[in-house]
Structure 1
Amino acid sequence: MNPNGIILSIVFCSQTVVGVLGNSFLACLFFFMYFIGHKLRPIDTIHAQLACFNLLLLLSKGIPQTMAVWGLKNFLDDNGCTLVFYFQKVSRGLSLSITCLLSGFQAITISPSSSRWAEVKARAPKYIVPTSSFCCITHLLLNIIVFVKVNGTQSSRNRSELHDYGFCSGLEATKIGDALFGAVVLLRDAVFVGLMVFASGYMILLLHRHHKINQYLYVNSLSSMTSPKARATQSILLLVSTFVCFYSLNSTFISFMYFRKPRIWLIQCSGFLSVCFPTFSPFVLISSDSQLLRYCYGLWRKKVPHL
C-alpha cells in the first residue's frame, strides 16, 4: 500500500471508530436512563433516534470504505453490496430528516406560549414518534431503487456502464427515470435543509429578543424560564450548523458523481464528508447540552457506590 493509502486508511478507520463509540455511548445512555426509571425530555427521543441512525450510517459507510481503501474490494457479493448501499442511502436520509425534526421541535418548544404555536407546542411531544416513523417508512420505500441500480464488484455487466464506488458499482444515470429520481431526492433534501435553516433562523430571532429583554431589565444571566431551553437551543443550532456545512460540501461532490464517472479522489472526499456529521454530532450534543452531562453523572452515581 502506498503512503497515501496508509494515511487514508488511518483517517477513515479513526473516523469510523470515534463515530461508532460516540453514537453508541449516546444511544446506550438514553437506553439505560430510560430503563432505570429516569424521566427523559421529549427531545431526548429525537436525540436517541439520531444517534441510532448515525450509527447505522457509520457502520454501512465507514467500515466498507475503510476496507476498500485497504485494498479489499471484493469482500461483498451482489446481495451484500446492495444491502450495504441501501442502508447507506436510508440512514443518510433519516439522519437528514431527524436533524430537521430536531430543529423544528426545538423551535416550537421555545416559542412563546401566548403565540399561535401554543396549541402545537402542547401537542408536539405526542407527534415525535409518529413523525419519525413516517420518515423511516418513506426513506425505506424511496430507496428501493438501490436494488436495481447497485451491483457487486463482480457484476457481469459491462464495466463501462458502471460507476465504481470502491466496494460497490452503480449504473450510470442515463435514463429519464434516473434523472427524475435524482430530482426527487434533491427536492427532498432541499425541503429538509430549507426547514432546518428556517427553524434555526426563528430560534436565533427568539434568543436575540430574549437577550435584549434581559439587557433592558439589567439581568446579566438568562432568566429561569429559558436558561435550560436557551442552552439546549444553542446546542441544536450548533448541531444544525455542523450538519448543513458538511451536507452542503458532500452534496457538491455527489452531484458530480451522479452524472459522470467519479474519480477515486472524488469518491474518497465524498466518503469522508458523508460520515463527518455522524462522527462529530454526539460530541457536539454531549459538550453543549448540560442535561446530557447530568444524565452521565446520574448514571455514574447509580453504578458507583458511595464510600
Structure 2
Amino acid sequence: MAASAVAVGIIFLAQTVVGVLGNSSLLLHYLVLYFPGCRVRHTDLILQHLIVANLLTLLCKGVPETMAGFGMKYFTSDIGCKLLFALHRAGRNVSICSICLLSIFQAIKISSGNSRWAELKIKAPKYTISCIYLSWVLSLLLNVTNFMYTMANRRNKTITNLKDYGYCSSIRHDTTTDSLFAALLTFPDALCVGLMLWASSSMVLILHRHKQRMRHVHKTSSLRSSPESRATKTILLLVSTFVSFYTLSCIVQVCLTVIYNPSLFLVNTAAIVSGCFPAVSPFLLMSRGYSVSGLCFTWIQNKGTHDIMGNM
C-alpha cells in the first residue's frame, strides 16, 4: 500500500472522527431542549436538522473514503454505492438549505416591527418545520439520478467509460452532458447561497443601523449585546465559513466534472473539501456559546423572574 494512500486515509479518518464527535455532542446538547423546563426555539430546530445533515454527509463520505484510503475499495455493492452517494449529496443539500433558512429566519426576526417584514415576522415560525422537511424531500428527489449512473468498483474488472471515485464509479458522458447535469444539480445550491448572502447582507445592515442608534444611548446600556445580536453574529460567522468552503468545493467539483479522466488527487481533494464545513461547523457554534445549557438557564431564569413578579 502506497504511503500517499495511507496519508489520505488518515486525513479522512481524522476529519470524520472529529466531525462526528463535534456534531454528536452538539446534537446531544440540543436534545436536552426536549426535556420539561426548556422551550425549543425555531432556530434550534433548524440547527438540529443542520447537525443531522452534517452527520449524514460525514458518515456517507468519510467512512467509505477512509476505507478506500486504506486499500479496501471493494467493500460495497451497487445498491450500497448508490445509497452512499445519494445520502451524502442529500445531506449536503439539506445543510445548504438549513443555513439558508437559518439566515433568512434570523434576518426576519431582527428586523424592526414597523418594517415591510412585520407581517412575515409573525408568519415565519409557522412555516419553518414545513420548509425543513420539504428540503429533505427535494434533496432526495434531486439525487435520484445517482441510482442510474453510479455503481460499485469491481475487482479485476476495468471499464473505460467510468469515472473512478475510489470505492465507487459513475458512468462517464461527454463534457456537454456532464456540464448540463452539474448545472442542474448546482442551480438549487446557487439559489440558496444567493438567498443566504442577501439575508446576511440584510443582517449586517440592521446591526449597523442598531449600532448607530446605540451611540446616542448611555454606554452602560450597550456593554452587553442582546441575544438576537449574538445569534445574528453567530449565523453570519456560520454563513461566511460555509460560503468560503462551498466556493472552494464548487471550483474543485467543476474541475472534476470537466476533466474527462480526473486524477485520484483531484478526487480526494474534492472529497476532503466537501467534508470541511460539516466537521468545522459544530465547533463554530460551540465557540460562540450556542449551548443548550446556556439557553435553558436563561429560560429558567426568566421563568423564575416572571413567577416571582406574578406572586408579588
Give the TM-score normalised by structure 1.
0.90
Q: Which moved more, 1:160-169 or 1:209-218?
A: 209-218
Query: How many angstroms apart in 1 are the aligned matches of 2:269 and 2:137?
Result: 30
* Cα distance in 1 between the residues matched to 2:33 and 2:294: 11
Q: 1:139 offset after TM fit, Å?
A: 1.1
Deviations 1:83-139 (A, max 9, x none): 111111111111111111111111111111111111111111111110111111111
Matched, 1:84 2:90: no
Structure 2 counterpart of 1:72, one-letter code: M
Q: Percent identity?
A: 41
Matched, 1:60 2:60: yes
Alignment gaps of 5+ in structure 1: 299-307
Count the aligned residue pairs.
Answer: 297
Change (3 A) 1:291 1:68: closer
Q: CA deviation at 1:31?
A: 1.7
8 Å CA contact retained: 2:179, 2:258? no
- Structure 2 residue 8 is the aligned partner of structure 1 residue 8: yes
**8 Å Cα contact 1:29-1:296 kept in structure 2:** no
Residue 2 and residue 254 in structure 1: after superposition, are their counterparts in 2 closer, same or farther (change >3 A)?
A: same
In structure 2, C-alpha distance between the alignment counterparts of 1:139 and 1:178, rounded to whole Å: 19
* Residue 179 of structure 1, CA deviation: 4.1
Alpha carbons of structure 1 residues 206 and 295: separation in structure 2 relative to 1, 3 Å: closer
Query: Equivalent residue for 1:185?
Result: 185
Distance across 1 between alignment mates of 2:294 and 2:29: 11
Q: Distance in 1 between matches of 2:8 and 2:297?
A: 37
Partner of 1:301: none
Counterpart in 1 of 2:267? 267
Shift of 1:4: 2.7
Q: Distance in 2 between matches of 1:15 and 1:103?
A: 26
* Residue-by-residue CA offset, 1:221-274 (whole Å, 9 max, x unaligned): 5488x6110000000000011100001001111111113221111111111110
TM superposition shift of 1:3: 3.3
Q: Distance in 2 between matches of 1:156 and 1:67?
A: 19
Q: How does 1:56-205 map to 2 (within 5 A)?
A: 56-154=56-154, 159-174=159-174, 178-205=178-205
8 Å CA contact retained: 1:82, 1:150: yes
**1:175 Cα deviation after fit:** 7.8
Moved more, 67-76 or 281-290: 281-290
2:39 alignment counterpart: 39
Normalising by structure 2, we get a TM-score of: 0.89
CA RMSD of aligned residues (A): 2.2
What runs of 5+ residues in structure 2 fail to find an aligned partner?
A: 299-312
Partner of 1:243: 242
